[in-house]
Structure 1
Amino acid sequence: MLIACFTFQLVGFSLGSLGWILSCITTRHAEWRLWLVDNTTIFSSGIAHVGIWKICFPPNLKTSSDYGIVCCHEFNFNENFFPVEMFLAQILLLIATFLGALGIFFTFLPPWHFYMGTIRKTQAICLFLAGGILYIIAGLCVLVPVSWNFYSVANNSSIPFPPSFHLPSFPVAQRIGIAIPLGISSGLMLLISGIIFLYIRSPVTSIRVNPMNPRS
């Protein structure tokens, strides 16, 4: 039973940590939506990579016939042309990053204190429960905007870009970028990790353990 509890804790902590890392990558990734656009006044036909914090224009500048130049633009918080799902993604992904980091911290404390000295079983359980709840909330904060943006891509929803972008409001076609499956994976990992920490029983006891001499 003791080994099983430690194994579940290790699995939960690993999933939570990996899910948090993927949520950070998803947040900054430019490939949320891949827009196929026709010729514009500036760009030849190609694919624009649209993220929630950055857009990379098609690498086909008409002024350069020999090289494909990729130009990217960083978005500010809540750009006035953003659809609701992109603005919501900015907010919720930042919240998920913060809560996920707290979840890692809380679920790391009980094993660390168990190794270093004494911790009460009730304290360990409370820390695991707090970490599990934080993981679940973080997972939902990732899955909600990612799913909404996936739905928008499936329905070929528009984005009213400003004239300076030289991009149409509607693409010829659009498909999901790698950030969407990364976000879904991140959210599921965080949820599973949270559920594990909510339902396992902590094997930590109030017995003091000397890490240099466990039998003493």
Structure 2
Amino acid sequence: MKIHKKTGSFLLACSLVLLTGCGSSSASTSLAETVATANMISDTSTITPIIVEQPLTVAETETLLFVREEEKLARDVYLTLYNQWGSNIFQNIANNGEQQHMDAIKVLVDAFGYVDPVSSNEVGAFTDAEILKLYNDLVARGMISSQEALMVGGFIEEYDIKDLQDAIDEAKQGTNQAAVIQTYDSLLCGSRNHLRSFVGQIEKDGLVYQAQYVSQATVDAIVNSPEEKCGQ
């Protein structure tokens, strides 16, 4: 994936959704500038100052841009399934969870000066061909029944959990920047809570949830533990 960088120092990044206003950096600010990102506390965002220290590696950059669209995938699928089935779990997680996850990654995308792969906020619009195909496949599956739609929710959260953990491991082995690792960790915590919600609803409907993307042991460990206060 081509890396797009702005010349000169990194800019002070502000998420328009998470912040009511953006400050400006001074002329003397060095490469290691303070930026704002979101810690997810039960998917209610607060802003914690963190430092962007250096450019990301090529692999880290590709992962960051992929995760940005991956979080949009989750939001868009949930909004589509809400429109189909009217189940509030989809609307709540899309609007109060996945949108905040998108915004948190956007903070980092802007801070590193990359071109945002989310060129359109339209539901179902994606730059990455892999994500577009996955979106179409998951929506088609979720249209089969309301129960299958909940299973799709479980799959997406497992998918996110695996990718975010891989992203954290990659970041630690790469430039090891707290700004990136803390953001991924917050999103990972939120995804675990989302999985708990979907599995809880599925089991409330009298079904047994089986792991779809990660190991059954991983799913069991998550759903059998209490909801987390992310970022605390």
Q: TM-score range by the shorter chain?
A: 0.3 to 0.5
TM-score (normalised: structure 2): 0.33
The higher radius of gyration belongs to 1
More relative contact order, 1 or 2 (CA 8 Å, 6+ apart)? 1
TM-score (norm 1): 0.35
